[in-house]
Structure 1
């Protein structure tokens, strides 16, 4: 597809109505004819600046921020492919909480939160397509494509701003995960504090990286082969749990980026053994919303085999609430 026009370098001020949105999403909405890859490339190289400084695409813009923009080549908009109907139906079945301001979906492993290379549908695109009456539906945070579990989406800019501020506080939103890692995790190792940096070769532990804090507790041991960990994510760096556990010498099973192929083969199964199992945070009215999700059914077969006993039937606990308003637990 050939470019049909170019924009001139410019500056723009963020209006109040868009405060709290991710910078990359705001830019994609403002410049619909500009390929997403071009926007991301300018962000990586510093061609797009916020208040004179290089900014990450995940930065939550604020009212009055001044964006400095380069010239963009604008292309004719290509017809959008609708997300697969099966994905839309699957995600609707996976909604575990919903009210007038937000919803929480139990994201299946392998489904990206947004469309990327090689994927026709992501969580946000599929649910937006199914909910044209909710034009402000947005992701409050992210999960890796390979990670399953609880994901918050907001329905209003006000709730997006509110949750963005909570996430920025570090521990205001409790985020619990469970992970199957290599070897015998030391009981004394309850906090991982290595700083994390993004580099051209990926996310790594680096002395000059961003502060990162992950808390862990042993839930179950499988001899010296593997350990099932309860993990609390305090900061939310990209790939934080995966990088921290790998750096500690105990990579997560099924992690093809930071993991151990031999360990993954020994464990068996498929996919990344990292599941977002719990969320708890205060709502604007002062009540606390707590939502939990059991580990995937397929994990139990792996646990049984690692424990040396025959696989049992379906042991999955909890209930899937469907239809209408889906209440979580408030306390």
Structure 2
């Protein structure tokens, strides 16, 4: 987006015309790309209050934009890049060490649990802000997100063309078309049935008091399909491989709760008493959910990628203690 793509309007607002390479991008991500440094919470507030308009009308943050759409952006005071403090050196070093793949198009992180994919909501530095500090001038953009408590494969693009192609693959996956194949590892509470259990249950995202997201199975929700396969029994619980064919918010955690076998260490959807016992007996101090593998192909299917992130040492320790 260059200055020529935007025009000033009255009262200091400007109108940005969506270019062809942003076709299909969500409104919130489009705004975050334009308003570099603006907190995500501020962007959502501007959209909710109707200060942001698309083709003259109000729009939701998840609206998919089309080439040529005119987006009205109110005046926003954003700190210049140089005025913002850098992430702590130790945090930058830890994320540098967590990079598991890098090439001309992609940078792939084995994101640690407890690290947000992006800043906002009281979080000064997420993974993307820290990677940008490590790779200044490379134009890094998140391809997708992981829950803060989930570890594993997090993909960042270095090129706009790559981001556009991967977002198209993500949209295919969300609709169940299989543009990306996602494999997770999880410890589920209790004894799951042998073999593979497929859960086809729509999920609805609601907000609790204070704005916290909570997801539950609801017929009015969006379609979601997960496959749980038991790999091992550990301490009366089930160590599973989980493959998801859609990419809904908290999908695995909400589906696990729905079948009565919550993810171990889940303080949102899980059993507090069982989580406490696992903490005391096996040292589990986090959510036992790890994005292990992400497979896809770029260049129209000609260039396959199979990205993997090893299970975190603290989760391996838990499995050893549960023998």
Same fold? TM cut 0.5: yes
Equivalent residues of 1:214, 1:235 under 8 A apart: yes
What is the distance in 1 between the residues matched to 2:291 and 2:92? 21
SS in 2 for 1:190: strand
Equivalent residues of 2:204, 2:221 under 8 A apart: yes
Q: Which residue of 1 aligns with 2:225?
A: 213
- Please tell me whether residue 245 in structure 1 is matched to residue 256 in structure 2: yes
Deviations along 1:205-229, one digit per CA (max 9) or x if unpaired, are 2111011111111111135x31111
Gaps of 5+ in 2: 1-9, 209-213
TM-score normalized by the length of structure 1: 0.81
SS in 1 for 2:256: helix
What is the distance in 1 between the residues matched to 2:76 and 2:238? 51
Bigger drift between 199-208 and 122-131 goes to 199-208
Equivalent residues of 1:14, 1:65 under 8 A apart: yes
Change (3 A) 1:288 1:34: closer
Gaps of 5+ in 1: 1-5, 308-331
Equivalent residues of 1:101, 1:154 under 8 A apart: yes
Deviation, 1:90, is 1.4
Q: Summarize the alignment of residues 50-69 of structure 1 with structure 2, pairs less than 5 Å apart.
A: 50=54, 52=57, 54-57=59-62, 61-67=65-71
Deviations along 1:255-282, one digit per CA (max 9) or x if unpaired, are 1111111111122211110000011111
Q: Which residue of 2 aligns with 1:180?
A: 187
1:258 pairs with one of 255, 269, 272: 269
What is the distance in 2 between the residues matched to 1:46 and 1:293? 41
Deviations along 1:101-152, one digit per CA (max 9) or x if unpaired, are 11111111111111123333111101111212312x1000000111000011
Deviation, 1:100, is 0.8
Q: How many residues align?
A: 297
Deviation, 1:294, is 2.3
Q: Summarize the alignment of residues 1-331 of structure 1 with structure 2, pairs less than 5 Å apart.
A: 7=11, 12-19=16-23, 21-31=25-35, 36-44=40-48, 48=52, 50=54, 52=57, 54-57=59-62, 61-67=65-71, 72=74, 74-75=76-77, 77=79, 79-135=83-139, 137-170=140-173, 171-187=178-194, 190-201=197-208, 202-222=214-234, 225-268=236-279, 269-284=284-299, 286-307=302-323
Bigger drift between 31-40 and 158-167 goes to 31-40
SS in 1 for 2:292: strand
SS in 1 for 2:154: strand
Equivalent residues of 1:138, 1:155 under 8 A apart: yes
Change (3 A) 1:73 1:204: farther
Change (3 A) 1:192 1:56: farther
Deviation, 1:47, is 5.8
TM-score normalized by the length of structure 2: 0.83
Deviation, 1:35, is 5.4
Deviations along 1:296-325, one digit per CA (max 9) or x if unpaired, are 111222222222xxxxxxxxxxxxxxxxxx
Provide the alpha-carbon RMSD of the alignment: 2.5
Deviation, 1:20, is 5.6
What is the distance in 2 between the residues matched to 1:35 and 1:125? 11
Deviation, 1:23, is 2.6
What is the distance in 1 between the residues matched to 2:237 and 2:273? 13
Equivalent residues of 1:19, 1:62 under 8 A apart: yes
